[in-house]
């Protein structure tokens, strides 16, 4: 069944500004609401506003430029005209910050439903439904209900009137499910501090190598907090990482070994930060963009360039052979383990592990020793992955 979304954005906060413009994790509350609705599969996403200040207009233009199906309307009658008959509509209250999981779970419903919270002191800001429950701020209503409400609305508040009519028409009520996390009703930025903290924690994702788990977390956290408030796109960081890797190839090939290593070290946190920015902004990153696909090959090419330089400057052909072997084993291990969750996998070779492991060798000028050690490291990682794959295949083979 088609799914749309209706977001109210006309109430003011404690400072006299629209609640829709309250900041959260480097963006506005309205942008967060729209992206949550879009992630749940809603289209169109209709925003009801009385006035559109410059700041709100910039937010709406940014959302539309990102291809999100968001439109603004001035009243309930215009809102009802944006939806098709029989369509189910996600209703999101003004100033509400729902979790993406809550909206996604609600989007799976096939009939109108009102999500409720307990009527207790901790939920005093939420609108009371009856003696035991309050409205959570999200609901699933029929599109025809919006048209009927618009016909009799008058000066009444749209979201409250729509809620009451949905209840009177027999819409089912359901308590919020614990796994979704409770929504927050905001009057100021302070009210969203807890949700912002949860979003930052949830954006960390898995850290599958020792470099990202033990060396880079501080840099990743610091950079994410600073960049989330900027207009820098996540994919731009991946592209920057690729350009730095290309620079490292040139540096190693020219004999600027420390410059090449420094450029590679700079690439290590960038994809991690990019992934977190994308998660915080609810803007999924394409899984296989050209820049992402080229990160491994360019890092490998930089390693080969280092081996080539060492070969031509006293280390002999063994340095070049070690570099090529390291690249081959590392790529084979990466392909074999890509979809596997291995015990102790953080200690296996990875692009970040290989780069950071070079630092202590470089400190003593032992570049060739590094290449030999990396070849052994990558080879051992490949054989470990192969062993695990063979064992799993044996266990799954019918006897």
Q: 253 and 168 in one domain?
A: no
Whether 181 shows a pLDDT value over 80: the answer reads no
For residue 215, the model assigns a pLDDT of 94
What is the per-residue pLDDT across 128-157, written as a single tens digit (0 to 9) for each?
988 889 999 999 998 888 877 776 655 567
Is 191 part of any domain?
no
Q: 287 and 154 in one domain?
A: no
Domain membership of residue 129 as a residue range: 3-185
CATH number at residue 88: 3.90.550.10
Measuring CA to CA, which residue among 84, 70, 124 is closest to residue 2?
A: 84
What is the per-residue pLDDT across 66-80, written as a single tens digit (0 to 9) for each?
889 999 998 878 888
* Overall pTM > 0.85: no
Res. 11 pLDDT band, cuts 50 70 90? confident
Q: 296 and 223 in one domain?
A: yes
- Across the range 317-343, mean pLDDT stands at 88
- Across the range 46-64, mean pLDDT stands at 89
For residue 179, the model assigns a pLDDT of 61
Q: 280 and 330 in one domain?
A: yes
For residue 109, the model assigns a pLDDT of 87
Q: Are strands 133-142 and 96-97 parallel, antiparallel or unpaired?
A: unpaired
Is 384 part of any domain?
yes
Res. 294 pLDDT band, cuts 50 70 90? very high
For residue 216, the model assigns a pLDDT of 94
Is 161 part of any domain?
yes
- Across the range 49-60, mean pLDDT stands at 88
Q: 317 and 169 in one domain?
A: no
- Across the range 160-179, mean pLDDT stands at 84
- Across the range 231-250, mean pLDDT stands at 94
For residue 71, the model assigns a pLDDT of 92
Buried b (16+ CB within 10 A) or exposed e, 76-101: beebbebbeeebbbbbbbbbbbbbbb
- What are 147's two structure tokens? 């048209």
For residue 339, the model assigns a pLDDT of 67
Q: What SS3 string covers the chain?
A: CCEEEEEECCCECCCCCEHHHCEECCEEHHHHHHHHHHHCCCCCEEEECCCCCHHHHHHHHHHHHCCCCEEEECCHHHHHCCCCCCCEEEEECCCEECCHHHHHHHHCCCCCEEEEEECCHHHCCCCECCCCEEEEEEEEEEHHHHHHHHHHCCCCCHHHHHHHHHHHCCCEEEECCHHHCCCEECCCHHHHHHHHHHHHHHCCCCCCCHHHHHHCHHHHHHHHHHHCCCCCCHHHHHHHHHHHHHHHHHHHHCCCHHHHHHHHHHHCCHHHHHHHHHHHCCCCCCCCCHHHHHHHHHHHHHHHHHHHHHHHHHHCHHHHHHHHHHHHHHHHHHHHHCCCCCCCHHHCCCHHHHHHHHHHHHHCCCHHHHHHHHHHHHHHHHHHHHHHHHHHHHHHCCC
Whether 397 shows a pLDDT value over 70: the answer reads no
If one counts the domains in the chain, the total is 2
Is 198 part of any domain?
no
Is 87 part of any domain?
yes
Is 258 part of any domain?
yes
Is 215 part of any domain?
yes
Whether 265 shows a pLDDT value over 90: the answer reads yes
Measuring CA to CA, which residue among 18, 117, 281 is closest to residue 8?
A: 18
Q: 353 and 211 in one domain?
A: yes
Is 92 part of any domain?
yes
Give the Å distances, CA to CA, from 217 to 92, 206, 223, 261, 348. Answer: 35, 12, 10, 20, 18
Higher-pLDDT residue of 75, 297: 297
Q: 143 and 223 in one domain?
A: no
The domain boundary, picked from 117, 151, 185, lies at 185
Calpha distance 172→169 (Å, rounded): 9
Whether 163 shows a pLDDT value over 90: the answer reads no
Q: 293 and 178 in one domain?
A: no
The domain boundary, picked from 134, 155, 185, lies at 185
Question: Both ends of the chain: CA-CA distance in Å?
Answer: 46
Q: 129 and 82 in one domain?
A: yes
What is the per-residue pLDDT across 83-128, written as a single tens digit (0 to 9) for each?
888 889 999 999 999 888 888 888 888 898 999 999 888 888 898 9
Give the range with max mean pLDDT: 45-59, 73-87, 259-273: 259-273
């Amino acid at each position: 069944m088609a799914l749309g979304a209706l977001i109210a954005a006309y109430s003011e906060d404690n400072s006299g500004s629209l609640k829709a413009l309250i900041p959260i994790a480097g963006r506005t509350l309205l942008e967060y609401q729209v992206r949550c609705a879009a992630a749940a599969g809603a289209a169109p996403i209709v925003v009801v506003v009385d006035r559109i200040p410059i700041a709100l207009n910039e937010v709406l233009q940014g959302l539309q430029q990102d291809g999100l199906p968001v439109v603004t309307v001035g009243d309930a009658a215009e809102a009802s005209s944006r939806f098709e008959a029989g369509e189910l509509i996600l209703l999101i209250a003004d100033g509400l910050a729902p979790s993406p999981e809550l909206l996604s779970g609600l989007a799976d419903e096939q009939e109108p439903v009102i999500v409720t919270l307990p009527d207790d002191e901790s939920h005093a800001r939420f609108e009371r439904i009856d003696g035991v429950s309050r409205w959570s701020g999200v609901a699933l209503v029929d599109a025809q209900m919006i048209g009927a409400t618009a016909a009799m609305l008058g000066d009444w508040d749209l979201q409250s009137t729509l809620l009451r009519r949905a209840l009177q028409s027999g819409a089912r009520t359901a308590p919020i499910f614990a796994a979704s996390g409770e929504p927050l009703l905001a009057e100021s930025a302070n009210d969203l501090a807890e949700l912002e903290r949860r979003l930052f924690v949830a954006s960390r994702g898995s850290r599958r190598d020792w470099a990202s788990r033990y060396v880079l977390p501080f840099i990743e956290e610091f950079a994410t907090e600073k960049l989330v408030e900027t207009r820098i796109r996540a994919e731009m960081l991946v592209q920057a990482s690729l350009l730095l890797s290309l620079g490292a190839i040139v540096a190693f090939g020219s004999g600027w070994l420390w410059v090449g290593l420094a450029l590679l070290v700079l690439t290590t946190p960038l994809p991690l930060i990019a992934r977190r920015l994308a998660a915080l902004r609810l803007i999924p990153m394409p899984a296989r963009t050209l820049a992402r696909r080229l990160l491994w090959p360019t890092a490998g090419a930089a390693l080969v360039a280092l081996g080539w330089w060492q070969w031509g400057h006293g280390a002999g052909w063994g340095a070049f052979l070690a570099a090529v072997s390291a690249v081959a084993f590392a790529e084979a291990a990466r392909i074999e383990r890509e979809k596997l969750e291995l015990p102790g996998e953080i200690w296996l070779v990875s692009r970040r592990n290989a780069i950071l492991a070079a630092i202590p060798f470089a400190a003593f000028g032992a570049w060739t020793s590094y290449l030999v050690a990396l070849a052994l490291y990558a080879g051992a990682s490949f054989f470990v992955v192969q062993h695990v794959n063979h064992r799993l295949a044996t266990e799954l083979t019918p006897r």
